[in-house]
Amino acid sequence: MAEAVLIKPDRSLVRKIKAAGGETVEKCYQCATCSVVCELSPTERPFPRKEMIWSQWGLEDRLMTDPDIWLCYQCSDCSVNCPRGAKPGDVMAAVRRFAFEHFAFPGFMGRALASPSGLIPLLLLPVIILCLIVWQETSGNLTALFQASAVVDFDYFLPHGRTEMLFIIGALLVVTCMSISLFRFWRGMDKAWGAQHKTGFIPALIGVVFEVILHKRFSSCGAARYRQFAHLLVFFGFVFTALATAMATFEMLFLHKFLGLEGHYPPFSLLHPIKIFGNIGGFAIVAGVVIMIYQHITNSENAGKAVYSTWLFIWMTGLVAVSGLGAQFFRIAGVAEFAYPFYFLHLLTVFFLIWYAPYSQFGHMFYRTLAMIFARSIGREAKEMKPLP
Amino acid sequence: MDAKIGVYICSGCGIKDAIDVDALTSLVGDELECEFSKSDPFICGDECLAKIKADIESEGLNRVIIAGCSGRYFTDRFKFGDDILVDRVPIREYVAWSSDPESDIDEIEEVIQELAADYIRMSVARMNNSEPPTPIEEETSRDILIVGGGVAGMNAALASANAGYNVTLVEKEAELGGWSRKFKAVIPQSAPFHELETPPHIELADSVQKHEKIKVFTSSTIEKTSGQPGQFDVTIQNGSGGETVRVGAIVQATGWLPYEPENLKDKYGYGTFGNVITNIAMEEMAVNGKISRPTDDAAPKSIAIIHCAGSRDKEHLPYCSAVCCRVALKQALYIHEMMPETDVYLLYKDIRSPGLFEQFYEKVQEVEGIFMTKGEVVEVTEEDDTSLSITLDETLLGEKIKIQADMLVLATGMVPTTLVDEDEIEEEAETEAEEETPDETGEEGDEKSKASCAEIGAKILNLTYRQGTDLPTLKYGFPDSHFICFPYETRRTGIYAAGAVRAPMDMGMAKNDGLGAALKAIQTVETVSQGITVHPRSGDVSFPDFFLSRCTQCKRCTEDCPFGTLDEDDKGTPEPNTLRCRRCGICLGACPERIITFKDFSPNMITQMIKSISMPEEFDERPRYLVFLCENDAVPALDISAWYRHKIEPWVRIIPVRCIGSVNTVFIADALSAGFDGILMLGCKRGDDYQCHFVNGSELGDYRMENVREKLKQLVLESERVQIDQVELSDWHKIPKMINDFVEEVNDLGMNPYKDF
């Protein structure tokens, strides 16, 4: 017989989970309806029932080494069917929010993103950096920007080279910090699950990428079907804008700067592939975000409990797209009074999303992917769908 | 007084389609000695009823036979006064509706006519051999005694007193209140079931003590209870002197005792580890305002509570005590209120908080610092003097876990105060057996020790009944007698059980129990004052008469009576206490001398009814089957079956009886020698979950089958010819098949060879 494990409950974690949107967690009485209705849950050690009692007892080591919290897409089937109103979907989301904090490297960043009190410093950092760049470039002569005759020139305001550098540094930092967190997460899962990896990391990763691109898991959700569509829009919006950014970087750094070719420098024509990709992406994000906001307001039961960090991420995502599209519109329209502030806002929100990605809900992209790879590699698959008799 | 019988045959409700009513009517003039017979198409109508009443007047009838629908319909319409005996012959149900004229039996119409005629013959025999019963007239008391001053007892006392009855309340302890006095708080009893309530005894005790109709005896016990309902003489002893009161009925609300925790020594370390306590000890601490670790008196940082400690456990109490889960929730809640930083673990098998109490469970779930899991406690060990470690398997956490707690509380279950300690009985029985004179055989010695067992046991009422000093109990020591139909009822007429002595329950239910039992007690004092019986034959005037000069002192009646009606004198002659009797006739069924009779139900009456049935010769190939049908479930069940026109074989003749226990084996012998081919008895369900309305009548019927089989062997008859079966009311659709299968089975054996003798 297996050796008994000493269990020490932790009230403070229960409090945190409740504060992070899981305030219904204590209502659970472990009937396992949630695990039965969940289409994504595997047959062996299904979720979210076990996560519910782990949360009620505040068992951090179990929750934080559990790939299952990331296999949940919060489609709310469990919450809708829960006989006790314990909303396991919301609790799982709250546990995921706690995971950003738990794995955060450096740790203070996790805490800063988790509550509104961290918002001001988090905003101040990019504002100061961007202002310094603006100040340096314009020597404080901002009035020149707004002269009626002047063409709106973002490169003059915030030079592309500088901003590129800012985001490349950000990306490197993010990759480093995120890797540390992900490594800890993987090691934790490995240990807790005594994992026998049946599939290698790369094949598992390829499988997961296909799954993500097709949003396959979303399609088995019942209560919140809209999520698949909204998430697809935002997801591909980001893919398109990322492609546009990559192409622009290529044009600017390689063709323009390195090869010294003429014309491969912003602003690009609206028919340029960069612009086409960027604009499609931007509009897709806006559309997806609008659906999300609308659903969270009008259909909060099924959309899941939205807390501060949810709104922060949704609004930041929306603002990135809106400010980008706005800056472009006012630049072409020649309305400098709006174009520059929009551009400033755009860079500010891009900074926010990229630099803080591991600690905000953007981080779900990494944790979820890793958890899915882990699950796939140990052969932890969703239960087989059987047609009703 | 000679019987003057008028027969009225109804032709309505499809009767005339199946039966030649005119021919049936002429049966009376031709064959049966009655005053007259008449038929009417609408016998239950006012017009016909008026005619019957006029006939009674003008012809001086004292017996009326109504052949028509079952006596369960229009019961009150066919009452013509106390001195007029009425028999309802259900030719509608037993003949018209349940015979199949399409059957391939030869001359089926004649066969059905014969069936109807037999029922008339049986009824005439019944009427000729019975008399209108007269009630017992005795001086009775309407006062009520309540034993036990807890929540159930005090509520019973108040309810009875408020209804205008004088009440005597006896409490063993110095103060009223029972367990309520020993609890810090009680489970919420009203919406939203969130807040603990103050124990109810304070208010109750005050009202009881102030009530002018309630006389309270505290620090008192009952030395002796003798007599019968309406005439109980109860000697109350308070240590310094006795006082005898006469009461009409008794409510026993003596409550419960906690399950002995010493028995949980091996399992949970009670007694071994200083910090393992019971829920009762926790309650005491809480009442005193300080919850502390027994070993060092320090405030515990964590407390674990094991639900079902020794409950739902084959080794200990096999049943659920219904309250312990909610008590554990209650204690978790007040521990949190008193010491918010203390963690409380609730370790349960299942949390049982039925009905709206679910809301209380929900409330406690939301309290911070209360951690719950299902699990089987595998081991309790002591880390050191101040810490215990509890290992659980099969937990909801999905693994075998260990938790550490400063204290462990065992939520033990409830044991009724009526439980007789079985070990104690064995010991006492052994002692008594040793005292027996050595010349007695072993077998007799066994019997003797069994009899003395009944006298030992919980000594609460100290009844002077021949069958034992206290209430007979069911499997786990609870004194209930018929949980489904008659709550509060015990096997001692006029004595009712209320509260946790009857079944494990909380104080809310105990309150209701007190009220319910008080109503039963009131019913009893009222009915016995009129000389009639209580449930289930409510209002029955008849009572058994013992022709004692022919008694052989065989003691069967005294032992078989489910209600302890009969005491006996030194020689063993029964001494009836008629007011204890519920008129089931089980004694009548037991008596080999046939000396026990009711005015309207007697061995002779049944024998004459059997004899009155036409018995065709063997060559006619018209068999005859006799079915004794219990009036409590089987008769209404057959009525329902007939309503749905389910068919039964036309060879069957039905005799309803008060209880299958009232069927004397003599009836069976009579029927077999009269030529009946088979006899079937349909009674209520027997066994641990019996539904017999007279507790053990059905059981006795089955037991007596042994003798019947012996008899059959002597007569060289197949044992299949006499059978007994069980019917619940809900089995109505199975009854025709039961009867027809029996008929088919016995038909295959061939005719009764004694037919033509």
CA angle in degrees (0–180, nearest 5) for A196-A200-A205: 120
Rounded CA gap, B586 and B589, in Å? Answer: 5
Q: Please, what sign has the CA dihedral across residues B244, B247, B249, B253?
A: negative
Sorting pLDDT into bands at 50, 70 and 90, what band is B688?
Answer: confident
CA distance B490 to B502: 9
- Quick: pLDDT tens for B722-740: 999 999 999 999 999 999 9
Reply yes or no on domain B1-132 having CATH 3.40.1130.
no
Q: How far apart are CA B228 and CA B246, in angstroms?
A: 10
Question: What are B236-273's pLDDT values in tens digits?
Answer: 998 888 899 999 999 999 999 999 999 999 999 999 99
Residue count (chain B)? 757
Q: What is the pLDDT of residues B22-38, one digit of tens each?
A: 999 998 888 888 888 99
Q: What is the pTM of this model?
A: 0.86
Confidence of residue B721 (pLDDT cuts 50, 70, 90): very high
What is the mean pLDDT of the segment spanning B127-154? 94
User: How many interchain CB pairs under 8 A, A with B?
Assistant: 60
pLDDT at position A263, please? 77
Q: Please tell me the CATH superfamily of domain B277-413, with its number.
A: FAD/NAD(P)-binding domain (3.50.50.60)
Looking at chain A, the whole-number percentage of residues with pLDDT higher than 70 is 97
User: Taking 60 as the threshold, does the pLDDT of residue B197 lie above it?
Assistant: yes
Residue B482: the pLDDT is 77
Does the fold of domain B277-413 match that of domain B144-255+418-529? yes
In the CATH hierarchy, which top-level class contains the domain B545-597?
Answer: alpha beta
**Minimal-distance CA residue of chain A relative to B366:** A26
The Cα of B278 is separated from the nearest Cα of chain A by a number of Å equal to: 24
Domain boundaries, chain B: 1-132, 144-255+418-529, 277-413, 545-597
* Cβ-contact A256, A233 below 8 angstroms: no
More confident residue, A267 or B161: B161
* Residues in a beta bridge with B165: none
List the single residue in B374, B392, B403 with the smallest CB-CB distance to A30: B374
Q: Which residues pair with A133 in a beta bridge?
A: none
pLDDT attached to residue B441: 43
Q: Which two tokens stand for residue A13?
A: 């974690």
CB–CB contact B343 A59 (8 Å): no
B439 burial via Cβ count (<10 Å: 0-12, 13-18, 19+)? exposed
Looking at beta carbons, which residues of chain B come within 8 Å of A9?
A: 343, 371
Q: Determine the average pLDDT of the residues in B566-582.
A: 93
For residues B703, B707, B709 and B715, what is the CA-based torsion angle, rounded to 10 degrees? -160
Residue A265 confidence class, pLDDT cut points 50, 70, 90: confident
Q: How far is B196 from chain A (nearest CA, A)?
A: 20
Task: Tell which residue, B238, B220, B177, has the closest CA to residue B202.
Answer: B177
Joined together, the tokens standing for residue A277 give: 């990709």
What pLDDT, on a 0 to 100 scale, did the predictor assign at position B426?
53
Q: Average pLDDT of chain A?
A: 89
A45 Cβ under 8 Å from any chain B Cβ: yes
B512 reaches A (C-beta below 8 A): no
Q: Do A7 and B391 touch (CB under 8 A)?
A: no
User: pLDDT digit string (tens) for A77-115?
Assistant: 999 999 999 999 999 999 999 999 999 999 999 999 988
Tell whether the model's pLDDT for residue B223 goes beyond 50.
Answer: yes
- Which superfamily, per CATH, for B144-255+418-529? FAD/NAD(P)-binding domain (3.50.50.60)
- B259: which 2 tokens? 């399950």
Find the mean pLDDT for residues B635-650: 96
**Residue B427: predicted pLDDT:** 57
| B5 membership: H or E segment, kind and range | strand B5-10
Residue window 15-44, chain A: list those with CB within 8 Å of chain B: 15, 26-30
Check if the beta carbon of residue A154 is closer than 8 Å to that of residue A343: yes
- Select the highest-mean-pLDDT range: A64-73, A257-266, B713-722: A64-73
Of B369, B400, B403, which has the smallest distance from its Cβ to A11's Cβ? B369
Residues of chain A found within 8 Å of residue B351, distances taken between Cβ atoms: 29
Q: Please report which confidence band the pLDDT of residue B456 belongs to, taking 50, 70 and 90 as the band edges.
A: very low
Contact A100, A110 (CB under 8 A): yes
> Quick check: B363 contacting A, CB < 8 Å?
no
Q: How would you list the strands of the sheet with B36-40, edge to edge?
A: B36-40, B5-10, B63-67, B85-89
Give residue-wise pLDDT tens across range A131-180. 998 888 877 777 777 776 677 888 888 888 888 888 889 999 999 999 99
How far off is chain A from B364, nearest CA to CA, in Å?
9
Residue of A4, A49, A56 lying closest to B400 (CB–CB)? A4
pLDDT higher than threshold 90 for residue B130: yes
Higher pLDDT, B5 or A155: B5
pLDDT mean over A270-294: 94
pLDDT of residue A353: 93
Residue A377's identity, in one-letter code, is S
Residue B684: pLDDT band (50, 70, 90) is very high
Question: Please, are residues B193 and B359 in contact by the beta-carbon 8 Å criterion?
Answer: yes
Residue B434 has what pLDDT?
55
- In this prediction, residues B426-452 reach a mean pLDDT of 46
